[in-house]
Amino acid sequence: MHNIPNQDRARVLVQALPYIQKYAGKTIVVKYGGNAMISNELKDAVMNDIVILQLIGINVVLVHGGGPEINDMLKKIGKESKFVNGLRVTDKETIDVVQMVLAGKVNKTLVQLLEQHSGKAIGLCGLDGRMIMAEKKAAAEDLGFVGEITEINTGVIENATKNGYVPIISTVAGGYNGAVYNINADLAAARIAAELKAAKLILMTDIRGLLQDKDDEETLIPVVNVSEVPSLKREGIISGGMIPKIDCCVEAVRRGVKRAHIIDGRIPHSILIEMFSDEGIGTMFY
């Protein structure tokens, strides 16, 4: 890499031009998670990608999860979790930990990290400015404080981007009764993207994208029209953990986001590569 001569560097910039022109002034919502939030090298690359996008006039909104940190903290206080259909039964003590870890630890640590990469950031959660309002998720078995989004208010997000700050968002939501609910971060990102009329939703995952044969990374499906999703599910190509991710993409596109992407966060600079090349990376839903 360090051998790239200056002229080739200049050409790389020139070749990035049409992509910059395409997205300047637009909003991109990135759901951050997985390995890209664990490895230090990947974290640095993500922060650099965000700073460069912000600098060339693209509004980046970063939505994050934090499952591993929540688990660590629950373990630390000796709390055991019960799961129903893959959803954590969230009692009062658990939701307190979720709020504390996401909005207090993961979120503000990301804020500081972006600032160390000379970005400007502000850490928000769904409670700030009533950004994410929710009600208790209906379920066969009582899941406790697991919520379903009822309303998105983008005021605090837009104040941040308008003033040059990258909003970094934890997805705990407020209830009308004063309760706090845990919310699926992918879905929150999709809903926020829709409300902001974002040009793109990017979900960072630990897989290549949607694969024709899930065991062969060479069989990546680069582009999917959301109308094809039901048949892809029937054929079993969309299955398992991919289902909720892809449902988020479909939800975002249905609500007006131009393009939703599932990209491989394990590849350094995957966001920039997605934004600044024709072939992109991962799978795009439109």
* Contact positions with its own copies (CB under 8 A) in 155-214: 155-156, 159-160, 163, 165, 172, 174, 178, 180
Sign of CA dihedral 203, 207, 208, 213: negative
Among 26, 35, 91, 120, binds its own copies (CB under 8 A): 120
Query: Min. distance of Cβ 228 from its own copies in angstroms?
Result: 26
β strands within 107-238, DSSP E:
121-125, 132-136, 147-152, 166-170, 172-175, 180-182, 200-205, 223-224
233 vs 229: CA distance, rounded Å: 6
| Stretch of 34-42, 124-132, 247-255, 258-266 contacting its own copies, by CB under 8 A | 124-132
| Stretch of 31-39, 84-92, 109-117, 236-244 contacting its own copies, by CB under 8 A | 109-117
Among 246, 272, 282, 285, binds its own copies (CB under 8 A): 272
Q: Nearer to its own copies by C-beta: 215 or 278?
A: 278
User: In the range 240-269, which residues lie near its own copies by CB under 8 A?
Assistant: 267-269
- Give the angle subtended at the CA of 6 by the CAs of 279 and 21, to the nearest 5°: 40
**Helices and strands of the chain, counted as H and E runs:** 10, 14
Confirm if 173 and 149 have CB atoms less than 8 A apart: yes
Among 26, 108, 233, 258, binds its own copies (CB under 8 A): 108
Confirm if 263 and 42 have CB atoms less than 8 A apart: no
Does position 136 interact with its own copies (CB under 8 A)? The reply is no
User: In the range 30-89, which residues lie near its own copies by CB under 8 A?
Assistant: 45, 48-49, 51-52, 55-57, 73, 76-77
Does position 277 interact with its own copies (CB under 8 A)? The reply is yes
